[in-house]
Chain A
Amino acid sequence: MIQTLALFSDAYRLLNARKIFWFTLLLTALVVLAFLMVGIHETGIRIIVWDIDLPINTSSGWSESLFYKTIFMNLGVKIWLTWVATILGLITTASIFPEFISTGSIEVILSKPIGRFRLFLTKYATGLLFVTLQVSVFTVGSFLVIGIKSGIWMPGIFIAIPIVVLFFSYLYAICAFFGVVTKSTIAALLLTILCWFCIFIVQTSETTLLFFVKYQEQEIQAFEDDLQRSKERLAGVEDPDDHERWKFLYETIEVREKNLKEANESNGVRLTHNIIMGALTVLPKTDATIELLERWTIDLSDLPQSNPDTPPPFVTEDGDFEANEQEITRSMSQDLKSRSPLWIIGTSLLFELFVCGFAGWLFCRRDY
């Protein structure tokens, strides 16, 4: 315990000595202060003293609480913490392992009565100190500023602390791994950002493909419905001599069956989606982890319902499919939200465990 505390104390001193830590903390404070300057009213939002008319207003069903939760989530967490502060965090912490294992530094520590793997894990945990401090300052600050300004106290936003630290830990595991392998800060940082970009590409591809899968499902459903309707219309033809009507309906049924068969057979999108989904399963789910925060802090029923009167998907007489994109998006969103937190966090942690375990194994086996 004394050794663990000493390593954490040393990590704090390291952060304390780095200008970028204080610079990021200052920027975080400024972002929090920005919450003081925005508010919502009947016709729109207010920034300092300027009123801007927007569809986001209290008259259209936006409560003050929902407004602040939304800006906390979308600006504070999704942009500030998961992008800007994370990049700054990686820049600050990428050097921890390369500097730690450099010649002259590590010998003294390794000669102490502490096991290598424990040393590695403790050092890894100290690397998360940066983001823990940043996100804690941000969340506590946001909690106080929003509470004092609007009188709305939202303790639920404190879930942001473990979620953002968890999100950062996925990337930091990669950074620690490359730090141990390459012993170079720049290489560790660049390779981590490259991996993050690859994960982002996989996640975006999966979401995009899911849209097309849902589109295809809607298309098949629309063809099936239209085929069913055509069959019903055919059965409803009372005049047996109305050849033109018979012929038209038969041809329609034939075309719809052909359309349906083609739609069912074109499973390329579904197959690609499955492959991407398989890849995503073994990768850390950075976006989905942050989305959990939204899932747990914002009640969807609080959101104002927008434009429910969009036309349902249908097939034109020429056989063209007209999709209902809003419905596809809704179905997609439902699909994404149906993914359990256990799957999102569990599989991501498995990835982290694997990468950390491998890095730790290398750390333990290496001569210094």
Chain B
Amino acid sequence: MSSSPIIDLRNVRKTFGRKVQALRGVDLSVNPGEVFGLLGPNGAGKSTLVKILMTVIRPDGIEGTLLGKPIGHKPSLARVGYLPEHHHFPDYLTGRQVIRFSGAMTGMRRVTRNRNADRLLERVGMSSWADKRLKSYSKGMLQRIGLAQAMVNEPDLIVLDEPTDGVDPVGRREIRDLLLELRDEGKTIFLNSHLLSELEMVCDQVAIMVKGEVAMHGAIDDLTLDSRRFEIDVQGTAPDWFDAMPNTTVSTHDETTRIVLRTDQAEEIQPLIDRLRSEHRTIIRITPVQESLEDLFMRAVTEDDGTVQGPGGVIKEGRGRQ
């Protein structure tokens, strides 16, 4: 597989009507074989971006490629699987028919799509319901069929918009495992989800969108690097020499002092521990702390004055298109 990005987007812009700027120059890249998570508050432009990739929405401006071809190149979509948010498959079809139909629409031959449909029904645990009409399915079952139809064409890239929506905890775990299996098979997965804890478990890279722009982009470990620290709780008040230590903050509460050392290297805190021990201070606990994806997300959506970004795109001032 080529090492060039599967998705490479630059300056994606979209304004709905004349005033609502859904995307304001998004830059993004997704490498082959990784699970990529797209996060953001409601109205940040995530679904719009996904729909532009899938040619459902026409951008006002876009540069870049999908699977090495310009965005909007229809034939390359034969190598993409897509599960939209709030999907609605015709309820007169059975689960098996939905998967086969999706395969046929990508131009797959009957024998292949039928074989894949049987295999995928097994994989998503829907074999026993395969020939029942969709109107008798629960939300979770529909989601499983949706996932199967997105995989029927053996795509290189699978784009999933809220794939665990309506799925019970057991089902979520199964879907999570499935995504990891797909990644191990070399598939690239583009996930759009609100469930940060789940994304944290499966994503190699994330991008956080806020008001139509990418606010953060990278591996979770890299993005949380600055937040990594060690918290050392010590009995008693803080010694004077702490004031001279770099990257350290100290706070005292109820005869307990918390020393926070901004580093992800355990070696760097050893001299401090040695000194505390030499002064016969009681160390209550030492906790390595790393910002969670949720913390990261909240940091991205919180403005400097502490207000959290509300839903919706940016409303342009004045008249006319940008």
Contact = CB atoms under 8 A, between A and B. Distances in A.
Interface of A: 2-3, 5-6, 9-10, 13-14, 16-17, 99, 102-115, 365, 367-368
Nearest to A102: B88
A112 B105 contact: yes
B84 interface: yes
Given A103-B86, A113-B75, A108 B102 contact: yes
Interface in B225-271: none
Nearest to A10: B101
Interface string B90-123: 1011000100011011111110000000000000
A29 to B, nearest CB: 23
B104 A107 contact: no
B55 A110 contact: yes
B321 to A, nearest CB: 15
Contact of B74 (A5, A13, A16, A114): A114
9 contacts: A9-B101, A13-B90, A104-B86, A105-B90, A107-B84, A107-B87, A111-B84, A112-B105, A367-B56
Given A111-B82, A113-B74, A368-B57, A13 B97 contact: yes
Interface in B50-102: 51, 54-58, 74-78, 80, 82-84, 86-90, 92-93, 97, 101-102
Given A2-B104, A10-B101, A13-B97, A107 B74 contact: no
A105 B110 CA distance: 23
Given A5-B104, A111-B84, A113-B78, 5 more contacts: A3-B105, A13-B97, A105-B87, A107-B54, A113-B107
B107 A367 contact: no
A66 B97 CA distance: 48
Interface in B142-160: 149, 159
B92 A6 contact: no
A3 B54 contact: no
Nearest to B149: A108
A108 B77 contact: no
A114 B78 CA distance: 9
B88 A111 contact: no
Contact of A103 (B16, B88, B104, B107): B88
Contacts of A10: 90, 93, 101
Q: Which residue of B105, B106, B107, B159 has the most chain A CB atoms within 10 A of its CB atom? A: B105
Contacts of A102: 88
A185 B202 CA distance: 42
A303 to B, nearest CB: 48
Contact of B90 (A5, A14, A107, A367): A14
B90 A3 contact: no
A104 B84 CA distance: 7
Contacts of B102: 108, 112
Nearest to A5: B104
Contact of A104 (B76, B88, B107): B88
Given A114-B74, A367-B56, A104 B87 contact: yes
B186 to A, nearest CB: 21
B86 A106 contact: no
Contact of A108 (B84, B97, B108): B84
A5 B57 CA distance: 26
